[in-house]
Amino acid sequence: MTREVQPDATVGESADGGWDYELGADSEVGTLRAVMLHRPGDELRRLTPRNSDQLLFDGIPWVDRAQEEHDAFAQVLRDRGVDVYLLDDLLTETIAHSGAARIQGIAAAVSPRRLGAHLAEDLAKHLRGLPPAELAHVLTAGMTFDELPLTPSAQRSSLVRRMHHGPEFAIEPLPNLLFTRDSSFWIGSRFAITSLALPARARETSLTDLIYAHHPRFTGVRRAYESQVAPVEGGDVLLLAPGVVAVGVGERTTPAGAEALARSLFDDHLAHTVLAVPIEQRRAFMHLDTVCTMVDTDAVVMYPNIREHMTAFTLTHDVDTDTVEVSDERPFVEAAAEAMGIEKLRVIDTGLDPVTAEREQWDDGNNTLALAPGVVVSYNRTVETNRRLRDSGIEVIEIEGRELGSGRGGPRCMSCPLARDLL
C-alpha cells in the first residue's frame, strides 16, 4: 500500500477569466478560497405543513428572513476573502452557455412516468423555449399543475392533467438545494457528484452535474466517483487530512456506497485510507457532519453523547495485490489519528451535559464550516458549544440561522468548498 496521493495537476483555468487559485481541496480546514452556496428561493415557498416531512424540513421557514440570513452568511464569507458562487447564477449561466445542458436539465425534471407521454412532451417543449433564468427557476422551484402552460391539445387530451389537483407538483421543488454540501464535493483536484438517497433530493445532482459538466468555468476539471453506484452524500464525507477520508454510513450513505467510493478514490489515487464510520439511522444524525466536523488540522468538534461510541472500519488499498483491506472496527479517534499520522486527534471537549448537548446537536452546533485552521463559522444559537470552542482557542464567527435551520443543516451543510489551500 502506498501513502502517496497524487492529485491531478488540474488548475482552475477556464475560458472566461479563470481562477486565481487551484480548484479542489485535500482537507476540511485549508484556507477557503471559493465556495458554492445556494441562496434559498421560491422552492422554500412550496413547503406546507402537509409536505414538509416528505421534503425533509422540520418547519415552514419564513422565506424572506431565511434569505436575509443566507445573504449575511455569504457576506461573512466574502468579508473573509472567500469567493462565493451562487448555484442559481451558475445554473443560469450553464443553461445560457450550453444547449445540451438545457436538454439534460429538462429531461431530469420532466417525468413521462408522472406526467404521461403527451403532457411530458408538451411541457418539455415549453421549457426548451424559456429564457435561461426562467428555466433555472423551474428546475429549482418546480412547477404545479396549476402553473402548467397548457396547449389546447394537452388541455383536451391529457387525462393526467384532468385528474391531478392544481396545487400538486408536476415538477417537484428542491428546497434542500440550500444544502450544497450534499450533492457534490471536491477531493484533490476533482469534483464528485454524489448519489442522494432520498427521492426528495435525488434530482439535485442533475443540477450540480450540469454545472460542472457544462459551465465554462469548470472546463477540463475531472470527476471522481464516476460510477455513483450506491448512495453517498457529501455531508457524510470528511477530508480528515490529505489522503485520509472519513465516510459516515447511516441514514443516507450505505455500506455499499462507502465501499464503492473508497475503491474509486483508491483507483484514482485520491486517498490512501478511508474510514467508514457507522452512525445511527436517525433524523438527527442524518450525516456524519451533523455530529462531527473538523475545526483545525488535528481537531474536531464532536457531539459529546456519541464520543465514546464512535467507531470506524479502516479501508486501505494494497497496491501490490490491488485489493482493499477492511480492518476490524475500533474507536474512531484512534483509527483517525493513526491514518492521519498524528499522535492524537483532539476532540474539543464541549463538556456539555447530555440534555444541552442534545439540544445543541439538533441545532447544528457540531456542523461548523472551517475557513482556515482554527477558524470556523457556526450558528449563534449553539451558545455553549461556541463558548467551549473559543475556550479551546478556536475562532468562532457566528451567523444567524433561525429560519435557515428549519431544514436541519448548519454552515457546513450549506456550503460546498470549490477551492481550499492544500495542507
Ligand X SMILES: NC(=O)NCCC[C@H](N)C(=O)O
Q: Which residues bind ligand X (CB under 6 A)?
A: 56, 176, 179, 181-182, 201, 235, 286-287, 289-290, 407-409, 413
- Nearer CB in complex with ligand X: 123/291: 291
Shortest reach from residue 328's CB to ligand X, in Å: 28
Minimum gap (Å) between residue 263 Cβ and ligand X: 23
Vertex 189 angle, CA 394 and 399, to 5°: 30
| CB nearer to ligand X: pick between 316 and 361 | 361
For residues 243 and 410, which CB has a smaller minimum distance to ligand X in the complex? 410
Nearest CA to 362 among 295, 249, 282, 279?
Answer: 282
CA distance 418 to 186: 7
CA-nearest of 137, 182, 179 to 46 is 137
Strand, coil or helix: what is 15?
Answer: coil
Residue whose CB is less far from ligand X, 88 or 182: 182
> In angstroms, what is the minimal distance from the CB of 258 to ligand X?
15
- Count of CB atoms situated within 10 Å of the CB of 214: 22
For residue 409, what is its C-alpha cell? 443543516
Nearer to ligand X (CB atom), residue 38 or residue 164: 38
Q: How far is the CB of 48 from ligand X (least distance, A)?
A: 16
Q: How far is the CB of 176 from ligand X (least distance, A)?
A: 5
Residue nearer to ligand X on the CB measure, 19 or 362: 362
The strand pairing partners of 35, in sequence order, are 84, 417
Which residues are catalytically annotated?
413
Q: In sequence order, which residues have a C-beta less than 8 Å from that of residue 86 and are 6 or more positions away?
A: 36, 37, 38, 39, 74
Q: Among all residues, whose Cβ is closest to ligand X?
A: 235
| Burial call 272-291: b when 16+ CB within 10 Å, e when fewer | bbbbbbbbeeeeebbbbbbb
Grid cell, residue 295, equals: 475545526
Sign of CA dihedral 208, 216, 67, 35: positive
Cβ distance to ligand X smaller for residue 27 or 94: 27
- CB of 382 vs ligand X, minimal distance in Å: 15
Closest residue by Cα to residue 253 from 277, 225, 224, 271: 277
Min separation Cβ 113 and ligand X, Å: 23
Q: What does DSSP say about strands 190-193 and 223-224: parallel, antiparallel, or unpaired?
A: parallel
- Between CA 323 and CA 340 the distance in angstroms is 21
Burial degree of 324 (CB within 10 A; 0-12, 13-18, 19+): middle
